[in-house]
Amino acid sequence: MFRWLHRIRRKRFLREGLSEESCYWLDFLPVLFDLPAADRKRLEGLTRVFIEEKHFEGCGGQLISDKIRVIIAAQACLLILNLHHDFYQRVRTILVYPSTFKHGSTWRRPDGIVVDLESANLGEAWPGGPVILAWDAAYQGGRNANDGQNTVFHEFAHKLDMLDGVTDGIPPLTQDHEKNGWRAAFLAAYEQYLQNLQAGRPQIFDAYAATNPAEFFATASECFFELAVKMEAHEPRLYALLEKFYRQDPARRSRAVLGQ
């Protein structure tokens, strides 16, 4: 019964999309400007469902507004625009801090001594838990669509990776992807990236991607949506892998808008 009601609600939100007031905030996200009208309409519906179903919570004195919900939700939904998905089903809450937040954790040294660690972060994605974002970074990342840095894309790409319960840089794949060796090709791209980095060859994305395959997937996803044309030219194999996974071709979208 509840599932049935849930499905009806979802369908209604997808059909209705966003109000005119909420749509206003989409104009703050240049990455959406290249979307064809039908995709843009669909994105509005997804964004509405996301906002209705997720709980946004302000932390560190941050107040939550429609602007914050729309800017975060629309960027998160761009990633799933063409995927089979259930709206990041394991994400129930998005915690929003005004700016960089500190997260304390502990680390057990090999000699058994537990050390307190405290790091300053712009975003975090907890397996089975919330996404945590610094609002200034989430906003600036959206406002500047050409620098390959986008905290919302990064953290929600981690959430896609985590959907199968493992954070390893390999999101759940379709049978088609499995058959065509997506996993092996992606890990080979990661190895190639490490080699290029070591050899001092110029890279189009942040060295943080070298941390592990999970960070490589999240960082490459930022570039895929923000520096698509450049990535397609410099990293054609990696671009093709992400194009296959996301079922989107943002480089083609950009060229279509530029009339190239």
According to CB under 5 A, which residues from 92 to 131 bind Zn ion? none
- In the bound complex, which residue of the shown chain has the CB atom lying closest to Zn ion? 218
Give the shortest CB-33-to-Zn ion separation in angstroms.
26
Q: Which residue stretch of 27-35, 106-114, 132-140, 217-225 sits at the interface with Zn ion (rule: CB under 5 A)? A: 217-225
Residue 40 C-beta: closest distance to Zn ion, Å = 28
Where does this chain touch Zn ion (CB under 5 A) — which range of 48-56, 107-115, 129-137, 211-219? 211-219
Smaller CB distance to Zn ion: residue 53 or 129?
Answer: 129
Relative to beta strand 55-58, strand 114-121 is unpaired
Shortest approach of Zn ion to residue 76 CB, angstroms? 15
Helix locations, 148-207, DSSP H: 151-161, 175-179, 182-198
Shortest Cβ distance from residue 124 to Zn ion (Å)?
8
- Strands of 123-125's sheet, edge to edge? 55-58, 93-97, 131-134, 123-125
Report the alpha-carbon distance of residue 109 to residue 21 in Å, rounded.
52
Listed in sequence order, the residues at least 6 apart from 130 whose beta carbon sits closer than 8 Å to its beta carbon are 91, 92, 93, 94, 95
By CB under 5 A, name the one of 68, 72, 160, 218 that touches Zn ion. 218
Q: Which is nearer to Zn ion, 125 or 228 (CB)?
A: 125
Cβ-based neighbours of 83, under 8 Å, separated by 6 or more: 160, 246, 247
- 36 and 253 in contact (C-beta within 8 Å)? yes
Helix H or strand E segment including 120: strand 114-121
Question: Two tokens at 213?
Answer: 């395959």
Q: Which stretch binds Zn ion (CB under 5 A): 64-72, 99-107, 141-149, 215-223?
A: 215-223
Task: Tell me which residues in 7-66 interact with Zn ion (CB under 5 A).
Answer: none
Q: Which is nearer to Zn ion, 215 or 243 (by Cβ)?
A: 215
Q: Which stretch binds Zn ion (CB under 5 A): 12-20, 38-46, 72-80, 216-224?
A: 216-224
Q: Which residues would be at the binding site for Zn ion (CB under 5 A)?
A: 215, 218
